[in-house]
Chain A
Amino acid sequence: MQAVQKYNAIMTGNEAVAFGAKLARVGFISAYPITPQTTIVEKLAEMVANREISAHYVEVESEHSAMAAVFASELVGVRSYTATSSHGLLYMHEMLHWTAGQRLPVVMSVVNRALGPPWNIWTEQTDSMNQKETGWLQVYCESNQEALDSILMGYKIAESPDVLLPLMSMEDAFILSHTSEPVILPDQDQVDSFLPPLNLSFRVDLKNPMGYGSYSTPDGPYMELRKDMMDSLRNSRKVISKVTKEFGETFGRNYSGLIEKFMMEDAEYAIIASGTLASTGKYVVSKLRQEGKKVGLIRVRFFRPFPDLEIAEAVTDLKGVGVIDRSTSYGSAGPTALEVRSALYGKSEIPVAAFIAGLGGRDVKVEDFEKMFQYVEQGKTGNFYINVKEAC
């Protein structure tokens, strides 16, 4: 019981990220509602109306405009926030490239939800996986606590002079967004000591006019700027490690950088997963361990930068690994599986089984995980859909 007493609130994932934005002292919020993220911006609107936070809150007419608005506010040096989901995120796509290209450290919450048709409001990660080429950092959360904490760590990572790129933090629709769980709401003083105010070196300043986002010929700095984005993203892993460590020292909650290893010490087989699938996966790993099976789980927290070096190192001594994706790259495989196979190329010969599971919010049950572990133990290497009906 001792461990439970430290929680000081019980709330949904959406409320938790709204408190994260409040505690980060965001100065600007733009919002266009889309289910099921809507309660994030509802909660923030309530906080603004009650003068609990002094942010400027702007309702816009679309998600494209929501991102355009935070682009502008961030460029004048104001810490800015928005949240979206599913088709809303897709509608933002163009402005996601602009925000990253302009090197603006915006933080956004994304509630992962399936794409139509047919209409489906339940969880799937294809919406944010479609944004992995935009230059944004991506973190996938497995609990409401992590969803809250990732906003605080997210601003600190994104705003680091060594990164200066936007970050999106994901929560699975309903399984986190609408699920009430105990959380620890940190003190504002503690957060203030961890996360200083934004001081953007290149912000728009009327006394010091400069041009922004103007024009580059093929010989101009365009290609160099793009390489610099790649370098910053690759190098952001150092900042992520540092900030994660500082966060642990300040708040006593230790996240593990880009990946989390669960019961991996003497594991022979492992599953790689992200989001809430990793949480249920841990439950199943604990169960299988009690049955004497040497299994473990690797949780992908950051998908961008992709933890290729970390995963290659973590699977070195394994006999087999499986990768679960709750998303699809049509005509190929699951996005995580593609990255893992690429990460292991030339470094490891272990069989990799790729699973696609839980699309459109289909529940991924304990027996589904047990089946996937069986495939891994059998050394299977193909691509498999899990719990899919033969004909419909």
Chain B
Amino acid sequence: MFEVRFHGRGGQGAVTASEILAHAAFNEGKYAVSFPFFGTERRGAPVTAFTRIDDGPILIKTQIYNPDAVVILDPYVMTRGDVLSGIKNEGYLLVNTPQDPARLGSESKKATVDATSIAIARGLGDRTNPIINTSMIGALARITGLIDRESAIDAVRELSPRKKEENAMAAADAYDSVRMGWVR
């Protein structure tokens, strides 16, 4: 079983990202579950979302405490100490930031992607409210190999309510431009 925990803020699409990942894995023939944990339902509040992927039915229905990968949609939520808690040794950390992954203070396999710039270039939202969740899925696919490039793009297209092609291209851009702090 592979477990992913997404951290973002209300309105950034962490929940949709967890669903896109589950759909992509499902479309590849795997069993996948995604679910949100809302703090308080309002824009800007911290939101956590989860995806579990396995070869057969998944019975455990708790939150994820020891993720194989943590995805940070908003670098500012990293100021909360708990977002990296429990991440497995050799687990993956993916952050939306233009910075070099070496600058992230973590023992895990660190990767960064400038999802905000990708989103703006593709006309998804604006500088204040960029739609970055679809880019994060593309980047996650690349660093983990959990889903392949095409199924990531297809699932993004399937679940994007608007600007389907722009979102799909953003996922592809992120897949191709994510920076990994280790050799895969």
Q: Which residues of A contact B (CB under 8 A)?
A: 1, 3-5, 7, 10, 35, 121, 174-175, 178-182, 276, 279-280, 282-283, 286, 363-366
Given known contacts A5-B29, A180-B19, A180-B22, A280 and B62 CB-to-CB distance under 8 angstroms: yes
A342, B37: Cα distance in complex, Å: 37
**Closest chain A residue to B21 by CB distance?**
A180
> B26, B41, B55: which has the most chain A beta carbons within 10 Å?
B26
**B37 touches which of A5, A174, A181, A182 (Cβ 8 Å):** A174
Task: Please indicate the chain B residues that have their CB under 8 angstroms from the CB of A279 in the complex.
Answer: 59-61
Tell me, yes or no, whether B76 is within 8 Å of chain A by CB.
Answer: no
B11 → A minimal CB distance (Å):
17
**Closest chain B residue to A282 by CB distance?**
B59
14 extra interface residue pairs, beta carbon distance < 8 Å, beyond A10-B23, A280-B60, A363-B63:
A4-B29, A4-B30, A5-B29, A10-B22, A180-B19, A180-B32, A180-B34, A182-B26, A279-B60, A279-B61, A282-B59, A363-B62, A364-B62, A365-B65
Task: Please indicate the chain B residues that have their CB under 8 angstroms from the CB of A4 in the complex.
Answer: 29-31, 55-57
A174, B33: Cα distance in complex, Å: 12
A365, B32: Cα distance in complex, Å: 20
Tell me whether B33 and A179 are in contact (CB under 8 A): yes
Task: Please indicate the chain A residues that have their CB under 8 angstroms from the CB of B10 in the complex.
Answer: none
A3, B57: Cα distance in complex, Å: 8
Task: Please indicate the chain B residues that have their CB under 8 angstroms from the CB of A174 in the complex.
Answer: 35-38
Cβ < 8 Å to A, chain B residues 32-64: 32-38, 41, 55-63
Tell me whether B35 and A178 are in contact (CB under 8 A): yes
Task: Please indicate the chain A residues that have their CB under 8 angstroms from the CB of B31 in the complex.
Answer: 4, 7, 182
A351, B62: Cα distance in complex, Å: 28
Given known contacts A4-B55, A10-B22, A181 and B62 CB-to-CB distance under 8 angstroms: no
**Closest chain B residue to A369 by CB distance?**
B62
Tell me whether A3 and B56 are in contact (CB under 8 A): yes
Tell me whether A179 and B35 are in contact (CB under 8 A): yes
A7, B30: Cα distance in complex, Å: 10
A199, B121: Cα distance in complex, Å: 60
Tell me whether B26 and A280 are in contact (CB under 8 A): no
> A4, A283, A286, A364: which has the most chain B beta carbons within 10 Å?
A4
B152 → A minimal CB distance (Å):
15
B71 → A minimal CB distance (Å):
17
Tell me whether A365 and B26 are in contact (CB under 8 A): no
B103 → A minimal CB distance (Å):
33
Task: Please indicate the chain A residues that have their CB under 8 angstroms from the CB of B38 in the complex.
Answer: 121, 174
B137 → A minimal CB distance (Å):
14
Task: Please indicate the chain A residues that have their CB under 8 angstroms from the CB of B61 in the complex.
Answer: 175, 179, 276, 279-280
Given known contacts A10-B23, A182-B26, A366 and B35 CB-to-CB distance under 8 angstroms: no
Q: Which residues of B contact A (CB under 8 A)?
A: 19, 22-23, 26, 29-38, 41, 55-63, 65
Secondary structure of the A contact surface, majority rule: mixed
Tell me whether B62 and A365 are in contact (CB under 8 A): yes
**Closest chain A residue to B25 by CB distance?**
A10
A366, B57: Cα distance in complex, Å: 18
**A178 touches which of B30, B36, B60 (Cβ 8 Å):** B36
A180, B23: Cα distance in complex, Å: 9
Task: Please indicate the chain A residues that have their CB under 8 angstroms from the CB of B30 in the complex.
Answer: 4
**Closest chain B residue to A361 by CB distance?**
B37
Task: Please indicate the chain A residues that have their CB under 8 angstroms from the CB of B65 in the complex.
Answer: 365
10 A-B contact pairs sorted by A residue (CB < 8 Å): A3-B56, A4-B31, A7-B26, A178-B36, A180-B23, A276-B61, A279-B61, A280-B61, A286-B59, A366-B62
Task: Please indicate the chain A residues that have their CB under 8 angstroms from the CB of B62 in the complex.
Answer: 280, 363-366
Closest 8 CB pairs of A and B: A179-B35, A283-B59, A283-B60, A10-B26, A276-B61, A180-B34, A280-B61, A282-B59
Task: Please indicate the chain A residues that have their CB under 8 angstroms from the CB of B22 in the complex.
Answer: 10, 180
B153 → A minimal CB distance (Å):
17
B8 → A minimal CB distance (Å):
16
A159, B45: Cα distance in complex, Å: 46
A365, B36: Cα distance in complex, Å: 16
> A10, A178, A180: which has the most chain B beta carbons within 10 Å?
A180
**A366 touches which of B19, B29, B60 (Cβ 8 Å):** B60
B33 → A minimal CB distance (Å):
5
A35, B57: Cα distance in complex, Å: 28
Task: Please indicate the chain B residues that have their CB under 8 angstroms from the CB of A10 in the complex.
Answer: 22-23, 26, 32
A178, B38: Cα distance in complex, Å: 11
A381, B59: Cα distance in complex, Å: 28
Task: Please indicate the chain B residues that have their CB under 8 angstroms from the CB of A3 in the complex.
Answer: 56-57
Tell me whether A182 and B32 are in contact (CB under 8 A): yes
A112 → B minimal CB distance (Å):
13
